[in-house]
Amino acid sequence: MNRSGLALLLVFSVSTLLVACSSSEPKVAWEGDGAPVADLNPDDVADATPRPDPILRAGNTSPYSIDGVEYQVLPTAEGYSAKGIASWYGTKFHGNKTANGEVYDLYLATAAHRSLPIPSYARVTNLWNGREIVVRVNDRGPFHPDRLIDLSYAAAVKLGFVDKGTAEVLVETITLAGVDDLRDSETGAYRYLQLGAFASPETANSLRDAVAALVTVPVNVTPVDVGGQRLNRVRVGPVADGDQLRYLRDLLMTRGYSPGLALP
């Protein structure tokens, strides 16, 4: 082979190597993280199913500090809407516990957020391509100043930005009923606090018994149909007025419960 032919071969080899290196791994937020070996089809990623989960102490300490920076958890997820940069996390954290003690599964539609109550649900829209997914927020992060939310690998696949690593997104929380629709006809205030709604009657009854030991007002379990599913909701009340409602809310929150509340 002559000298010019050798030079062309070297240029071709180097170019091929650079292309291969540039596309070998998808970009993620965490060093040493990555995607699973088997590819996931976006059509196989299911939305998280919103349900009225109780918000307990686990994962909701506020304020909390990470690397010397203090963060506040929002008192409610209702009405939250924000645009920002989403990243994703994968195999490095698969099987580890999330902030509220659940197990992170990279194949489920979940997310980490710095300030939304855990658990909460949000619709995330990729503003670059219009794709959407509903995720369950069950973890804290990303603790990176220019990022809004950290999505599971599956959620990133559904939104189409695994290879890019990040995307500009819109995050909008999905509000679930936290209080009874019955209002006091004179004051217009809600007269009940709702602690949650559960498929299991045993779970609902257990929560009712625990809360009844703390308060002097009635605590009841009543059936309700939500999205075609029969649930058992746990409610505190009725109460006499807004002052008693606030007192009960504060008392229950100090004991690790998160009662739904709405005042005029």
Give residue 264's pLDDT: 28
* Percent share of the chain, pLDDT over 70: 78
What lies within 8 Å, CB to CB, of 144 at 6+ separation is: 29, 87
Residue 9 reports pLDDT greater than 80? no
Query: What is the rounded CA–CA span in Å between residue 60 and residue 11?
Result: 56
Instruction: Judge whether 126 and 135 are in contact, CB under 8 Å.
Output: no
Query: What is the rounded CA–CA span in Å between residue 100 and residue 118?
Result: 7
- Taking the CB of residue 238, how many other CB atoms lie within 10 A of it? 17
Query: What is the rounded CA–CA span in Å between residue 136 and residue 109?
Result: 6
Instruction: Judge whether 167 and 159 are in contact, CB under 8 Å.
Output: yes
Structural domains in the chain? 42-173 (2.40.40.10), 193-254 (3.30.70)
Interior/surface letters 156-167, b for 16+ CB within 10 angstroms, e for the rest: bbbbebbeebbb
Which amino acid, one-letter code, is at 248? L
Residue range 225-261, pLDDT digits in tens: 766 778 888 888 888 777 787 788 888 888 888 766 4
User: Strands, DSSP E only, in 39-80?
Assistant: 64-66, 69-71
Confidence of residue 190 (pLDDT cuts 50, 70, 90): low
Query: Residue 21: exposed, middle, or buried by beta-carbon count in 10 A (0-12, 13-18, 19+)?
Result: exposed
Nearest CA among 137, 118, 121 for reference residue 55: 118
Give residue 222's pLDDT: 86
- Tokens linked to 49: 């199913």
Q: What is the mean pLDDT of the chain?
A: 80
Residue range 124-161, pLDDT digits in tens: 999 999 999 999 999 999 998 899 999 999 999 999 99
- Name the 3-class secondary structure at 243: helix
Nearest CA among 53, 4, 26 for reference residue 204: 53
Instruction: Judge whether 135 and 124 are in contact, CB under 8 Å.
Output: yes
Residue range 196-213, pLDDT digits in tens: 888 899 999 999 999 999
Cis ω for the linkage preceding 145 (within 30 of 0): no
Query: What is the rounded CA–CA span in Å between residue 158 and residue 117?
Result: 24
Residue 38 reports pLDDT greater than 80? no
